[in-house]
Amino acid sequence: MKKIRLGILGIGNIGTDHVKRVVNGECPEITLAAVCDLKPERLAAAKEIAGEDLSVFTDAETMIKSGLIDSLLVSVPHYDHPKFAMMAMENGIHVLIEKPAGVYTKQVLEMNECAKNHDVVFGIMMNQRTNCIYRKMREIVQSGEMGAIKRTNWIITNWYRSQAYYDSGDWRATWSGEGGGVLLNQCPHNLDLWQWICGMPKTVRAFVHCGKWHDIEVEDDVTAYVEYENGATGVFVTTTGDAPGSNRFEVTLEKGKIIAEGNTLTLWKSEISEPEFSKTNTSPFGMPKFKETIVETDGKNPQHAGVMNAFASAILHGTPLVANGIEGINGLSISNAMHLSAWTDKTIDITTFDHELYYNELMKRVATSRRKTNVTEAVAADMGDTFGS
């Protein structure tokens, strides 16, 4: 069987998991050809998992140009994703990046342009798209069988983190280390699924609280209101401060609603759309009749292995990715817009988003970050001391 030769850049928690996935045979069309990290102990740990013959590097460019790999999985801190993705693309290497696509849209747009100009496969680890619940939810919403969207609501507060979590690394929850808090660390999957299922909102007004529940400098509590092109509205609520938290995603459409909660997808469907019922109904307290059903799915949820296998298949056979890397700009645009809305106390139009303004506002916060680094546009991605975290 032909296999892709994968190099993994960054052997922290998630990078180590990826090493194990390949070695354990979960990705039959992938062979682990090399790994790269600045820390010798991490390289030693990778060899312990994969065997002494595994090629190891401490410099990303050297691994990329070694001739040993034809594909790269980037699992380094957020600021670094675009830098190393572009380095690989420019050397003809296929790329799969961890989420988020980057920290700010300006750098991600540059990465996307690079991807368009090079004949490589470019994917992003949006593994929640493999979840049968969300795949089925998207199928129903996008099919049009329920009519147009009227309202979306996602309360996603089961991201609880104690202070000990934030104290576990000096790069955590800092503007210079992570570039954001719950929106950029915990919620990229939710923001991606939100737009993947319901489409991109047009405008957002957000209330973003930094250090509300923890001793951190970035956001740990967010409530955002969005409007869509067709007039539909939505609310997104998240925090790392609620225990216990909730995870309830509700989409109201013209012919009913659909709710994802607790690994269950529930559908309320009417034969007549609400706008049509409202125009034809003659009873002052009349209401459309709904049929409630638990939606059956295929039960499959391959997660990270599913994304990696689709990436390998896209390279070898030309089949679709779980998520094209270029799509990473969508969820990031929403989170950047939420930040900018809070920073400027204004409603932000995502369709005309000011990428330069966001970058400048972010750099103001980086300049006063607790974690002192020389982060500029040129250096923001060059944060080797947190390589592989």
Same domain assignment for residues 286 and 311: no
The pLDDT mean for the chain works out to 95
What was the pLDDT predicted at 385?
32
Same domain assignment for residues 136 and 69: no
Distinct helix (H) and strand (E) counts, the chain: 12, 15
**Residue 91: which CATH number?**
3.40.50.720
In sequence order, which residues have a C-beta less than 8 Å from that of residue 269 and are 6 or more positions away?
A: 146, 255, 256, 290, 291, 293
**Residue 367 — very low, low, confident or very high, per pLDDT cuts 50/70/90?**
very high
**Residue 372 — very low, low, confident or very high, per pLDDT cuts 50/70/90?**
low
- For residue 120, give the amino acid letter: V
What was the pLDDT predicted at 371?
82
**Residue 287: which CATH number?**
3.30.360.10
What was the pLDDT predicted at 373?
59
CA angle 32/94/315 to nearest 5° reads: 85
Same domain assignment for residues 12 and 146: no
128 pLDDT more than 80 = yes
380 pLDDT more than 80 = no
Instruction: Return the SS3 of 233.
Output: strand
Same domain assignment for residues 163 and 283: yes
Same domain assignment for residues 318 and 344: no
18 pLDDT more than 80 = yes
Same domain assignment for residues 269 and 191: yes
When pLDDT is averaged across residues 19-38 and rounded to a whole number, the result is: 98
**Residue 375 — very low, low, confident or very high, per pLDDT cuts 50/70/90?**
very low
Instruction: Return the SS3 of 222.
Output: strand
Q: What is the pLDDT of residues 172-196, one digit of tens each?
A: 999 999 999 999 999 999 999 999 9
Q: What is the pLDDT of residues 348-360, one digit of tens each?
A: 999 999 999 999 9
Same domain assignment for residues 156 and 144: yes
Token pair listed for 349: 């139009």
Q: Which of 86-100, 247-261, 372-386 has the lowest mean pLDDT?
A: 372-386
Cβ-based neighbour number of residue 116 at 10 Å:
10
Q: How many residues are recorded in the chain?
A: 389
Cβ-based neighbour number of residue 326 at 10 Å:
18
Domain total in the chain = 2
99 pLDDT more than 60 = yes
* Domain membership flag for residue 380: no
* Domain membership flag for residue 374: no
Same domain assignment for residues 215 and 348: yes
Q: Is-contact 238 188, C-beta < 8 A?
A: no
Q: Containing domain of residue 260, as a range?
A: 129-299+331-358
In our burial notation (b when 16+ CB lie closer than 10 A, e otherwise), range 215-234 reads ebbbbbbbbbbbbbeeebbb
* Domain membership flag for residue 368: no
* Domain membership flag for residue 367: no
Q: Is-contact 285 199, C-beta < 8 A?
A: no
* Domain membership flag for residue 220: yes
* Domain membership flag for residue 141: yes
3-state helix, strand, coil in the chain (%, to 5): 35, 20, 40
* Domain membership flag for residue 384: no
* Domain membership flag for residue 246: yes
Percent of the chain with pLDDT over 90: 93
Instruction: Return the SS3 of 186.
Output: coil
Same domain assignment for residues 252 and 318: no
Same domain assignment for residues 48 and 139: no
What was the pLDDT predicted at 210?
98
Same domain assignment for residues 104 and 200: no
Q: Which of 33-42, 288-297, 368-377 has the lowest mean pLDDT?
A: 368-377
When pLDDT is averaged across residues 261-276 and rounded to a whole number, the result is: 97
56 pLDDT more than 60 = yes
Same domain assignment for residues 313 and 275: no
333 pLDDT more than 90 = yes
116 pLDDT more than 90 = yes
